[in-house]
Amino acid sequence: MRPTSQGRAAVMNDVARLAGVSHQTVSRVLNQHPSVSPATRERVLEAVRQLNYRPNAMARGLAGRRSRVIGVVSFDTILYGPASTLLGIERAARAAGYGVSIVTLEQLDHSGMVNALEALADQSVAGVVVIAPQTAAAAALHSLPLGVAAVAVESNVGGEIPAISVDQVTGARLAVQHLLGLGHRKVWHLSGPRDWLETHGRIEGWRGTLEDAGLPAPPLMTGDWSARSGYQAGLELARRDDVTAVFAGNDQMALGMMRAFHEHGIRVPDDVSIVGFDDIPEAEFLSPPLTTIRQDFDEVGRRCIAALLRAIEADLPEGPDRPEPDPHVAPTLVLRRSTAAPKS
């Protein structure tokens, strides 16, 4: 196979770039679909000859023997967000008339992704959904062979693979704007792990909202999504006398923080206001009920499946007839009783 200018073997995207067409058009030409004009077909085939391009065997296996099953690659987790995302995808797939085959990996890395794709290729799935909220997982998405209909969830993979996610930056902005609107002038933030893409979006929204208001950001605190890490952060904040408002990166960490404050006689929201993120089912039953940011995981699932079916149909002679879904699902602020104006 003739290498590209970067010294690697040519892939479908190289052919598309040289021919001046989309990778969907290249796929149609290679699969001999009649919808491509003769001039375009010849231009693509000439690019194939120049690059000595050979279609990926795994891509042919997945794309050439379609079934009514969608493959989902996820990772082993009981965290509320990813688990709810998976459930939303399953519901949407079944509503669209597709079954779901799930491959769960302990770690979403390159080798794991290749193994998962091989397992799904054996099942002749129609397309692949990858739940990839971590940095390493997003990088592993480049293991997907071009030509395979695929969608990433909670990821910023970029390139040819569509990605659907909740707008984390907007969610954080809603949380911080709510606290500033109550009169708080300093909002602390307990973030999730730094290798999670959602963490970066929430930090960006928190910090950007404070900057827009002309307020400095307090030192960032980092947790691991667990109630225990929220409890530990709460113990640290309980030793300070300048804390009136906290935006926790998820509801579990907010729960742990509330416990730490209670043990130190700090009342929520009389002394400190807390906003969480996710709106877990237990949030409304905490004491006090937790103000939080709700993520619409069912809508994520619907848009994910809509984007995947559009990608699948791109290889059909008539092309996709579905509108391209908005990749960013809007979060909402759920007001409860864990936030109030600061003491005067």
- Looking at residue 1, what is its pLDDT? 41
Residue 129: CATH number of its domain: 3.40.50.2300
Is residue 201 one of the residues assigned to a domain?
yes
Asked whether residue 108 falls in the same domain as residue 125, the answer is yes
What DSSP designation does 284 have? Answer: G
Within-domain flag for 289: yes
Alpha helices of 52-196 — where are they, by DSSP H? 57-64, 80-95, 110-122, 135-140, 168-181
pLDDT at residue 55, rounded to an integer: 61
Do 75 and 112 share a domain, yes or no?
A: yes
**Do 204 and 284 reside in the same domain of the chain?**
yes
Same domain, 241 and 126: no
Same structural domain for residues 74 and 147?
A: yes
Tell me: do 288 and 302 sit in the same domain: no
On whether both 104 and 215 belong to a single domain, the answer is no
Which region holds residue 187: left if phi is over 0, alpha if psi is between -120 and 50, else beta?
beta
Determine if the pTM surpasses 0.75. yes
> What pLDDT, on the 0 to 100 scale, is given for residue 28?
73
- What's the confidence (pLDDT) of residue 113? 77
Structural domain includes residue 180? yes
- Are residues 46 and 104 located together in one domain of the fold? no
- Could you give the number of structural domains in the chain? 3
Using CA atoms, how far apart are residues 198 and 249, in angstroms rounded to an integer?
Answer: 9
229 and 195, same domain (yes or no) = yes
Nearest C-alpha neighbor of 127 from the set 27, 33, 59, 74:
59
* 311 is a domain residue: yes
Write the pLDDT tens digit of every residue in 162-195: 889 999 999 999 999 999 999 999 999 999 999 8
- pLDDT at position 302, please? 92
CATH of the domain at 25: 1.10.260.40
Cα–Cα distance between 136 and 192 in angstroms, integer? 16
Q: What per-residue confidence (pLDDT) applies to 114?
A: 75
Note down the domain range covering 30. 12-55
- Whether 253 is in a domain gets the answer yes
- Asked if the structure places residue 343 within a domain, the reply is no
Q: Do 33 and 78 fall into the same domain?
A: no
At 67 the pLDDT is 73
Kindly state whether residue 335 falls inside one of the protein's structural domains: no
Q: Based on the domain organization, do 253 and 306 belong to the same domain? A: no
H-type alpha helices, the chain:
12-19, 23-30, 38-51, 57-64, 80-95, 110-122, 135-140, 168-181, 197-212, 227-238, 251-263, 297-313
User: Domain check: are 279 and 183 in the same one?
Assistant: yes
10-residue block means of pLDDT along the chain (344 residues)? 53 81 76 77 87 63 66 83 90 91 81 79 84 76 69 74 92 98 98 93 98 98 97 98 97 98 97 97 96 95 91 62 83 98 89
Residue 336 placed within a domain: no
